[in-house]
Amino acid sequence: MKTLVILLCILVSTQTFAQKPLRLAIAGLSHGHVGWVFNRKDKKDIELVGIYETNPELVDRFSEKYKLDKSLFFSDLSKMLDQVKPEAVSAFGPINEHIMVVKACAPRKIHVMVEKPLATTLADAREIEKLADKNSIQVLTNFETSWYASNQYVNDLVEQGKLGEIRKVMVNDGHQGPKEIGVSKEFFAFLTDPGKNGAGALNDFGCYGANLMTWLLKGQKPLSVTAVAHQNKPDIYQKVDDDATIILQYPKAQCVIQASWNWTFARKDMEVFGTKGYAVAVNPTTIRQRLQEKSPEETVKIDPRPAPFTDPFSVLADVVSGRLRLGEHDMYGLPVNVTVVEILEAAKQSAKTGKTIILK
């Protein structure tokens, strides 16, 4: 009887520990995706303990919309971190502020998740990597395409050898444009600021293709990067590109990334062609594939990814708790995402100079 009681106590203790919510703080409210964190009340894996934001208008808007206590809000990031002591911070401000958030969090041993891409410059990306390594923290980069079961399915085909060696990849991402789809004025302001966003569509949507290709090739860097960026709508996007095509050349493969704020409709799809067959991730749960020359193309429907992979905050909570370990070349991880920023920086240089950039 005594043994049974001990076992039950251990079981209850283990379940309590496993279900303990992550103490999460938010840094910035201007990013259009921040609403996600306030619209997941069905999940109990995080506890929102603080929000850093310097814009009083945003503070008022969010506190009213989501019925948030004003005591949650801070205009000083360091003060918030020291007072509420979060285990992790999710950054939802301009991309060039990611480095500032990591500089504040890393010495305090606070983990960080940022919205894609990791940084606006390679120098910032490398400094983030050094800070994370020195202070033994996780810095994750959230990509919507990491939630897609179809991308995982295609990667499995590659790993199983069913596509043969990768020869050509096309990644198409974007939508009609930030203004056209009606983003908030704060989100629009930083997306169209070359300093805060790093570029226009080239950074905003080019990062998806760079992330996916680096993941598919297990961290391999391209030999060269060639890019063309253009303003099809200079009356709307005066300071940044609204359309970009990036070509990544590898020893035996090429990736063409089409990033645009000019698509007819929103899209995030990937085509992978190998020496044996091809597969197209049409949407999160649909794949078109042809695995043999004499076989017809078939359409495969699959289930969404299982928990925690359909929710970035669940992923963050599981990584911080140790329930989930990221692979060496995970789409969320630093090694892949530092390479993503290196590719984007080379693409911007190529577009500006009209020359192919050779990576070291």
Asked if the model's pLDDT at residue 6 lies above 50, the reply is no
9 & 38 share domain: yes
pTM of the complete model beyond 0.85:
yes
Please check whether residues 89 and 177 belong to one and the same domain: no
Domain range for 127 is 2-144
Contacts of 218 (CB under 8 A, 6+ apart): 328, 329
More confident of the two residues 42 and 137? 137
Residue 319: pLDDT over 60? yes
- Shared domain for 244 and 264, answered yes or no, is yes
Among residues 119, 144, 169, which one ends one of the domains? 144
Contacts of 178 (CB under 8 A, 6+ apart): 187, 188, 191, 192, 261
Task: Please write the tens of the pLDDT for every residue from 46-71.
Answer: 999 999 999 999 999 999 999 999 99
Boundary (domain end) residue, out of 102, 118, 144: 144
* Same structural domain, 222 and 107: no
> Residue 48 domain-assigned?
yes
Q: In whole angstroms, what is the distance from residue 113 CA to residue 211 CA?
A: 16
| pLDDT, mean of residues 277-301 | 97
Same-domain check for residues 138 and 166: no
Query: Does residue 1 surpass a pLDDT of 60?
Result: no
Has residue 325 been placed in a domain? Answer: no
Token couple for 166: 């990768």
Domain match, 61 and 135 both: yes
pLDDT of residue 18: 53
Query: For residues 95 and 114, what is the distance between their CA atoms, to the nearest angstrom?
Result: 8
CATH of the domain at 212: 3.30.360.10
| Summary mean pLDDT of the chain | 95
Range 321-340 average pLDDT: 96
* 94 and 198 share one domain: no
Which pLDDT score is estimated for 360? 84
User: For residue 41, what pLDDT is reported?
Assistant: 85
Considering the domain architecture, whether residues 198 and 140 belong to the same structural domain is answered as no
Quote the pLDDT of residue 54: 98
Task: Count the domains in the chain.
Answer: 2
Tell me the average pLDDT across 109-122: 98
Residues 55 and 162 both lie in one domain: no
| DSSP calls for 50-109 | EEE---HHHHHHHHHHTT--GGGEES-HHHHHHHH--SEEEE-S-GGGHHHHHHHHGGGT
CA-based max dimension of the chain: 78
Q: How confident is the model over 235-251, as pLDDT tens digits?
A: 999 999 999 999 999 99
Do 124 and 48 share a structural domain? Answer: yes
Q: Which of 117, 144, 171 is the last residue of a domain?
A: 144
